[in-house]
């Protein structure tokens, strides 16, 4: 791929042909305020706050313009600051501003943009004309949807359409009543939403946020245990609890994307009802036993069933949560006992 050299604020940088100015700037730790841009999605240019000045071209949207050889880009000037401030004020003037109680506090792209541009609460209050009070949708078991915190950047809508191909979300109503919602403004659980959480993961504000949101102390890189796909994930850990999961963007398998199980299905690890030792029924009641006792009982029951009904009386159902080698050994075990009645949930 052809390499291009150009300058940002007098700093010489390199980029690949086809890269945008905004994407290249962010890779080189040059911050340009933005809301509707996400590297996984096609540029929209809707928020208008990522404007930069290009020598010979004037003000333009950095998320839409591709880099060119010898291009000279300026990201800071009085004219740029004024243009960004006007665009940002239109976006945030009616935004629900209780930041301290928001799940996205300190992890909010809108918050970063407001701090960078120096927007003042007094100025925003003088511009405010309406009080939006949309009901919060908590029907989804994993995340909630709060239209009052939405800035209509369209990232959730584009994510659902471009990445998942589901197109469950869209803009509804018009004017000041515009918001993002499911078809016919139904709760999240009713239409075609698959609860994968990809929209939530990319949302730049608290409009889509995880329920029971906690910040992990550290993250552990691992592989999702739910199926044979092998998606790379980072599990967020706090104490001895797994409290979050996010996709590994460097994984060649899933490139950061996860399904509903991979993102939200790890609570079983800390569940109080999870078995931690084998149980054997004695006198009608399950009691704890050692592994040797449990395996001896299983072997005896296998032998009893085969003697009474024949080898095909046995069957085995394996799990996608174990390694391929373990599944192979499991089917070898069943076949050595004379039965071909073997299946695995990985094919479902």
Q: Are residues 44 and 19 in the same domain?
A: yes
Residues 6+ apart with CB under 8 A from 329: none
Q: What's residue 319's pLDDT?
A: 83
Would you give the DSSP letter of residue 163? I
Q: Are residues 205 and 222 in the same domain?
A: no
Mean pLDDT of the chain: 88
Domain stops at, among 188, 210, 232? 210
Q: What's residue 126's pLDDT?
A: 64
* Confidence check: pLDDT of 348 > 60: no
* Confidence check: pLDDT of 131 > 70: no
Q: What's residue 89's pLDDT?
A: 85
Q: Are residues 68 and 83 in the same domain?
A: yes
CATH number of residue 78's parent domain? 3.10.20.740
> What is the average pLDDT across 184-213?
85
Measured distance CA(344)–CA(348) in Å, rounded: 8
The secondary structure of 258-302 as a DSSP string is --HHHHH--GGGG-TT---S-EEEETTEEEE--HHHHHHHHHHHH
Residues 6+ apart with CB under 8 A from 68: 4, 6
Q: Are residues 59 and 128 in the same domain?
A: no
Measured distance CA(19)–CA(14) in Å, rounded: 10
Measured distance CA(157)–CA(180) in Å, rounded: 8
Write out pLDDT tens, residues 54-102.
998 899 999 999 999 999 999 999 999 999 998 988 888 777 767 877 8
Strand partners, 247: 233
Q: Are residues 298 and 316 in the same domain?
A: yes
Domain stops at, among 28, 59, 92? 92
**pLDDT confidence tier of residue 118, bands split at 50, 70 and 90:** confident
Range with the poorest average pLDDT among 187-191, 254-258, 326-330 = 187-191
Q: Are residues 331 and 283 in the same domain?
A: yes
Q: Are residues 86 and 124 in the same domain?
A: no
Range with the poorest average pLDDT among 70-74, 109-113, 154-158 = 109-113
pTM of the full predicted structure? 0.80
Q: Are residues 242 and 310 in the same domain?
A: no
CA torsion angle for 236, 242, 245, 248 (degrees, to 10)?
60
Domain stops at, among 71, 92, 113? 92
Q: What's residue 191's pLDDT?
A: 66
**pLDDT confidence tier of residue 199, bands split at 50, 70 and 90:** very high
Measured distance CA(167)–CA(157) in Å, rounded: 7
CATH number of residue 147's parent domain? 3.30.70.20
CA torsion angle for 286, 292, 296, 299 (degrees, to 10)?
100
Q: Total structural domains in the chain?
A: 4
Q: Are residues 73 and 107 in the same domain?
A: no
Write out pLDDT tens, residues 20-34.
999 999 999 999 999
Q: Are residues 265 and 301 in the same domain?
A: no
Residues 6+ apart with CB under 8 A from 61: 43, 45, 48, 50, 51
Measured distance CA(164)–CA(194) in Å, rounded: 9
Q: Are residues 7 and 75 in the same domain?
A: yes
Write out pLDDT tens, residues 268-321.
888 888 888 999 999 999 999 999 999 999 999 999 999 999 989 999 998 877
Q: Are residues 141 and 180 in the same domain?
A: yes
Measured distance CA(52)–CA(32) in Å, rounded: 8
Domain limits at 310? 279-347
Q: What's residue 51's pLDDT?
A: 95
Residues 6+ apart with CB under 8 A from 266: 235, 242, 245
CATH number of residue 260's parent domain? 2.20.25.90
């Amino acid at each position: 791929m052809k390499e291009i050299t150009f300058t940002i604020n007098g700093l010489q940088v390199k980029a690949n042909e086809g890269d945008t100015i905004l994407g290249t700037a962010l890779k080189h730790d040059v911050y340009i305020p933005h809301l509707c841009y996400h590297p996984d999605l096609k540029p929209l240019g809707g928020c208008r706050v990522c404007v930069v000045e290009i020598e010979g071209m004037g003000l333009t949207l950095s998320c839409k313009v591709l880099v060119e050889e010898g291009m000279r880009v300026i990201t800071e000037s009085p004219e740029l600051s004024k243009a960004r401030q006007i665009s940002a004020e239109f976006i945030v003037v009616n935004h629900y501003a209780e930041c301290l109680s928001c799940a996205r506090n300190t992890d909010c792209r809108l918050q970063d943009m407001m701090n960078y541009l120096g927007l003042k609460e007094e100025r925003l209050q003088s511009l405010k004309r309406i009080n939006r009070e949309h009901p919060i949708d908590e029907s989804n078991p994993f995340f909630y949807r709060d239209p009052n915190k939405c800035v209509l950047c369209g990232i959730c809508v584009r994510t659902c359409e471009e990445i998942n191909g589901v197109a469950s979300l869209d803009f509804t109503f018009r004017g000041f009543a515009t918001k993002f919602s499911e078809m016919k403004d139904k709760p999240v659980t009713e239409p075609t939403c698959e609860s994968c959480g990809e929209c939530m993961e990319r949302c730049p504000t608290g409009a889509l946020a995880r329920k029971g949101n906690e910040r992990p102390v550290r993250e552990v890189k691992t592989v999702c245990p739910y199926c044979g796909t092998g998606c790379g994930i980072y599990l967020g850990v706090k104490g001895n609890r797994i409290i979050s999961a996010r996709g590994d963007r460097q994984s060649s398998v899933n490139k950061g994307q996860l399904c509903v199980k991979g993102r939200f299905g790890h609570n079983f690890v800390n569940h109080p009802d999870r078995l931690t030792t084998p149980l054997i029924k004695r006198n009608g009641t399950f009691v704890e036993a050692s592994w040797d006792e449990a395996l001896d009982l299983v072997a005896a029951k296998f032998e009893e069933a085969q003697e009474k009904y024949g080898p095909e009386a046995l069957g085995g159902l394996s799990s996608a949560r174990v390694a391929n080698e373990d599944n192979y050994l499991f089917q070898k075990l069943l076949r050595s006992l004379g039965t071909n009645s073997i299946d695995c949930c990985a094919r479902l």
